[in-house]
Amino acid sequence: MIKRLFVVLILVFSGQIDAMVNNLAAELDMLSVRLAVLASELAGSQFVPPIIPINPAKEEVPALIKGQPALIQTNWIYQSGDIKQIEVLTQVDGANCGYHALKNGILILNAVMAGSNNQERNIYLNDLKSNSVYKNWFDNWANIIKKSREKSERKGTFDWLNGAEIELLIKSKIPEKIEHRSEFITVIDNPDWLTQQEFSKGQGLTEEIVNQVAAFQSQQDYFHVFVLANSREYQNQRGFIEGTWTHWISVAVNKVKGKSQFIILDSANHSRIGQQDVQTLIDTLQKGDIEQLKMRITFSPDLNTMLILLEYLEGKPSSYAGIPDDAFEGVIGRAKKIVKMAKQTTTADKKTSWFKSNSFKDFKNELVKLLERTKATIAQKKEFFTEPDEKRISTEAVLKELKG
């Protein structure tokens, strides 16, 4: 019996020793690659790291051992309270800020995930300024983008990334041995999606963003990276308007035992401390009304359609195609649908807090304003109507029902 127990103990300990040896070997392999990269940079040459098979079955798992959650301590180029900005490789290669932002986002994500493992964390922080690392990733990513554009008007190009293309790169296998799964990275094309003041802003809010806000507010330990379009002109739904300028940056959120760091990474290395879009993201994470944000998701498709039709009828410049002749009826029809949805939800669950909150009152008031605006437009441009008076949808009925 004792002999059998001894054999079992030997097997257990030998398995643990094997695992420790494998981890140590992987760590040494990765360190040798990093040293080679640094050596090549000092020599002024380029170095392409060899592929090291860490775990063929799960290639997305980083090689080095993680530490405990920890706030990052390093030299910041700008800082104000818990908002920090770290120096990165300065962009000198034209309209490729999207590639830089994603590279920076992935590296800071892995630095945050390294936690108290200073050795691993510092590898990723040092790589933020490495031209070799950037060049290696960029060459692979640019090929992916060129291939995705082969059948579009942008065939042969790879610059001026939009949000969907950055998401495509996140889902690719590049970089192969470094964590970059989409569950840890959120792309925000339009920071106005985060605002809650008006229907004309925030209509593109997605469940993914709301989930991150809820997670940040409810968890003591939290980390996530946001790749943020840093500009003031956007389409309503996805990407930037053709012909306008936009700039991509990354913002990493690192929360440990309730204390937060918001780490900005900008390939121009310009100070973004206090910049509006960055502050909007931080404010939404810290103070966002979760129920109000959820309401945006429920009603945003119809609100967005209302706004598009209304702006078209008001004669505002737009590139929208296929606007129907019965645009006025479309606006009112969407409003009626929203009123019906609100009533159904309230009836189904009268205990739902946000239907009794100030947020819902604000929602109703804003919708009333939108309908009043529609009514005024109708009065000014009756010639737009295609149906006889008796068949038109009445704004008065919807307003009365909504105010009630």
Beta bridge partners of 83: 80, 262
HSE toward the beta carbon, residue 352, CA cutoff 13 A: 18
Strand partners, 223: 254
What is residue 397's predicted lDDT score, i.e. its pLDDT? 65
- Of 320, 319, 159, 186, residue with least CA distance to 250: 186
pLDDT score at 51: 37
Higher pLDDT, 72 or 8: 72
> CA 289 to CA 293: how far, in whole Å?
6
C-alpha 29/C-alpha 253 separation (Å) is 30
Average pLDDT over residues 372-393: 60
User: In whole angstroms, what is the distance from residue 4 CA to residue 15 CA?
Assistant: 17
Contact 254, 72 (CB under 8 A): yes
**Tens digit of each residue's pLDDT (9 = 90 or more) over 217-250:** 999 999 999 999 875 433 333 333 333 457 899 9
The tally of CA atoms less than 13 A away on the side-chain side of residue 114 is 21
> E-assigned strands of 241-294?
248-256, 259-265
pLDDT digits (tens, 9 = 90+) for 81-102: 999 999 999 999 888 999 999 9
Q: What is the Cα–Cα distance from 123 to 125, expressed in whole angstroms?
A: 6
Tokens found for residue 49: 């790291």
| pLDDT tens digits along 2-11 | 444 444 444 4
Mean pLDDT of 287-303: 74
- Taking alpha carbons only, the member of 207, 280, 230, 219 closest to residue 254 is 219
Q: How far apart are CA 38 and CA 220, in angstroms?
A: 36
Which residues, including other chains, have CB under 8 Å from residue 394's CB and lie 6 or more apart?
A: 332
- In the prediction, which pLDDT does 69 show? 93
DSSP-derived secondary structure for 329-355: HHHHHHHHHHHHHHHHHHHH-TT-GGG
Q: Which of 140-144, 299-303, 357-361 tops mean pLDDT?
A: 140-144
Is pLDDT of 211 > 70? yes
Q: Residue 174's Cα: distance from chain center in Å?
A: 19
pLDDT at 353 exceeding the cut of 90: no
Task: Kindly tell me if the per-residue pLDDT of 391 is higher than 90.
Answer: no
Report how far residue 400's alpha carbon sits from residue 71's, in angstroms, rounded to the nearest whole number: 54
Average pLDDT, the chain: 74
